[in-house]
Amino acid sequence: MAVPRAMRLLAVLSGILFFYLFYQIFKTPAVLKGPGDTLKEMTRDPNLDPTGEPEGILWRADDYAADNPKAPRINATILSLVRNNEIVGMLQSMRDLERTWNHKFNYPWTFFNDEPFSEEFKKRTQAETKAECRYELIPQDHWQTPSWINDDLFQESAEILKEQDVQYSNLVSYHEMCRWNSGIFYKHPALANMRYYWRVEPKVHFFCDVDYDVFRYMQDNNKTYGFTINLYDSPQSITTLWPETMKFLAAHPEYIHANNAMDWLKDSARRPEHNFKANGYSTCHFWSNFEIADMDFWRSQAYEEYFNHLDRAGGFFYERWGDAPVHSIAVGLFEDASKVHWFRDIGYQHIPFFNCPNSPKCKGCVTGRFTDGEAWLNKEDCRPNWFKFIGMG
């Protein structure tokens, strides 16, 4: 007997409904999206606008000869953590910075290594500058994994991070480096009388002539931290960093500056998935391979106590907390945001990102280019949030 047409139609509709419900149950959960995840909605790069020198007091390159004991240099140094086998990349970075800036001001270079520097390294680096070069060995107790870190737990955590494509998660030395850069480097005796530093890594490029003393600019204009590039971090590498920060703030609300950058740190609109995975932290940070900063901030009670809290929590090893998010969160919470300066006039590249201003003083980079890598890397730019919440000062 033939099945009535209405019954056949009902069966078809039931089948469609069944497969729809099956798909809804087992499909991959929707990924949260924001304007920062859509390349069409990326904002215009302000580096396309003409760029001059910063406003404020500027010291020119008069009487800064390397052998002048009365030169107006202040207590500051160019600082590099580097190994002997990175000599070629270090020489490249030195040549760029000496050509564009330091041959005029002759600030000393201070090199740090957890192993003794070779004579070849010393000879070849000193040959690149008229300024003094200092070669410092990091004490073992400054570098080694602290005693409270459980090695078995570290190995297990490293495997989990590796499965989540977190780079360098299984390299103990990388974790030790992040910890040293975060809260120990400024305790080295060689820096006891230094206040400011300009961090320089191997294989970076500088593109623009800078004709003023950047350290004097920081001092005379009451700046604490200077950056060029502002990025999103890998949330998988710092899942408990913000919760631990919240624990610290709950115990020390007095350290939060009234004019802080909390909105920049907590934003969930631009890249909501990052905020979700990082448990409330936007993951925005200053890319600290370039930083010009006042070490008195790191030496402050607020930062010392914050770093010690994080250090005891173990995230430098059980996760992959880097010095970039740690420094950025601390500056964003404990310092007046007006004391953070975007050095938009300093052309800079650390692969794969650029800061390339529109200035006749610059050559070798494309004005306004943020990356020369894949297009999706443009989503990693967090400067729009900094400019939105804080400004371009």
Q: Of all helices (H) and strands (E), which one includes residue 109?
A: strand 109-113
DSSP-assigned letters across all residues of 119-137: HHHHHHHHTT-SS-EEEEE
User: What residues pair up with 77 in beta bridges, in sequence order?
Assistant: 197
The type of residue at 251 is: A
CA distance 344 to 390: 15
CA distance 263 to 154: 33
Alpha carbons within 13 A on the beta-carbon side of 48: 5
| Residue 201 bears catalytic tag | no
Which CA distances in Å does 256 have to 225, 305, 327, 386?
Answer: 17, 13, 15, 18
Task: Record the tokens describing residue 179, joined without a space.
Answer: 């910890």
With beta carbons less than 8 A apart as the criterion, state whether 208 and 362 touch.
Answer: yes
Q: Taking each helix axis from N to C terminus, what angle separates 119-126 and 87-97, rounded to the nearest 10 degrees?
A: 20
Q: Taking each helix axis from N to C terminus, what angle separates 301-313 and 323-334, rounded to the nearest 10 degrees?
A: 140
Residue partners of 38: CB distance under 8 A and separation at least 6:
none
Q: Of the residues 98, 176, 244, 291, which is catalytic?
A: 291
CA distance 300 to 35: 37
Q: Which of the residues are catalytic?
A: 291
